Amino acid sequence: MAARAIGTATLSFGLVAIPVKVFSSTVSEGEYSFHLIERKTGSRLKQQYISQQTGEVVPREEMVKGYEFAKGQYVVFTDEEMKAVEQQANKAVEIKEFVPLDTVDPIFFDRGYYLGPDKGAEKPYALLREAMKKKARAALAQYAVRGKQYLVLVRPQGEGLVMQQLHYAHEIRAMSEVPLGDAKVSDAELKLASQLVDQIAADDFKPESYKDEVRDRIEEAIRKKVDGQEVTAEPTQEPVAKIIDLMEALKASIGEGGKAAARKPAKRAPRAAASKKKAAGG
């Protein structure tokens, strides 16, 4: 079934304007949303807002937005004042510059959308896509919708274009803020770690190889509940034995074929010892 557009926009660069349709890149099927239910009656619960000062329920028409600029002190904005400072939606995705795709760190990536050509825009759409492919570049643009201004990256993907919503620089925490320590890596450790990387390396990313096991368990539990069956907890896995020595852990991992060792190191101790002997030249 063909995807349905969730909006429209206009891609522009120079004097070229390309009407496009915006599509969600993800599907909601299989997502489970739980509601709060009163145990005694089985009825849905609704959310209410209570005044901390009076303890009374406050109706929505009496609510305004407030920003806490100091402890317990707020500046208040009415809906009209918020609209005055919000960005007016214009559906224009104005390309500012073209950059090499590999210069954009994925940590900036947020939500992604597919772009498709609107009626009559197939040729300029294809032209922009092919030009970016040829130059191995992506387009940085800004896009205003729902009162906000977004930074986006438009990039080719196969025969189409993807509009990747990006975080702004001020939204990204610097790595320098993360305590990393000052550990030194020896040549022997690096050699073994590199061997392990090579051992479980793959040439392609195949997301279909991975399953959301939690989602599957929730789906099964819901099915059982609907059928009137009892839901019981699965037995927990045995705790994995810790290998304190880094070199021993690396040797054990390589000796067990990588993936198997990562899953069951505690059950393979005898072979880990054999790997140690082999690595030592014995």
19/153 same-domain check: yes
Q: Is residue 116 part of a domain?
A: yes
131/197 same-domain check: no
- What are 31-46's pLDDT values in tens digits? 678 888 988 898 999 8
Q: Is residue 252 part of a domain?
A: yes
CB neighbours of residue 96 within 10 Å: 11
160/261 same-domain check: no
- What are 3-25's pLDDT values in tens digits? 889 889 999 888 889 999 999 99
123/196 same-domain check: no
140/193 same-domain check: no
153/245 same-domain check: no
Q: Please answer whether residues 82 and 91 qualify as being in contact, where contact means their C-beta atoms are separated by less than 8 angstroms.
A: no
Residue 137: domain span = 7-26+87-169
CATH number reported for the structural domain that contains residue 145 in this entry: 2.40.290.10
The C-alpha atoms of residue 193 and residue 116 are separated, in whole angstroms, by 44
Q: Is residue 144 part of a domain?
A: yes
121/158 same-domain check: yes
Q: Please state the domain count of the chain.
A: 2
15/155 same-domain check: yes
Q: Is residue 140 part of a domain?
A: yes
252/142 same-domain check: no
Q: Is residue 127 part of a domain?
A: yes
Check residue 23 and give its pLDDT.
93
Check residue 228 and give its pLDDT.
81
CB neighbours of residue 244 within 10 Å: 6
Q: DSSP of the chain, one letter per residue?
A: -PPPPSEEEEEEETTEEEEEEEEESS--TT------B-TTT--B-----B-TTT-PBPPGGG--EEEEEETTEEEEE-HHHHHHHSPPP--EEEEEEEEEGGGS-GGGEEEEEEEEEPTT-HHHHHHHHHHHHHHTEEEEEEEEETTEEEEEEEEEETTEEEEEEE--GGGSPPGGGS--------HHHHHHHHHHHHHT--SS--GGG---HHHHHHHHHHHHHHTTPPP-PPPPPPPPPP---HHHHHHHHHHTTSHHHHH-SGGGHHHHHHHHHHHTT-
Q: Is residue 13 part of a domain?
A: yes
Compute mean pLDDT per 10 residues along the chain, 282 residues long, and list them.
86 89 81 84 90 90 89 87 72 91 93 94 95 95 85 95 95 93 91 90 86 82 81 65 72 68 44 41 42
Check residue 124 and give its pLDDT.
94
Q: Is residue 22 part of a domain?
A: yes
Q: Is residue 129 part of a domain?
A: yes
14/104 same-domain check: yes
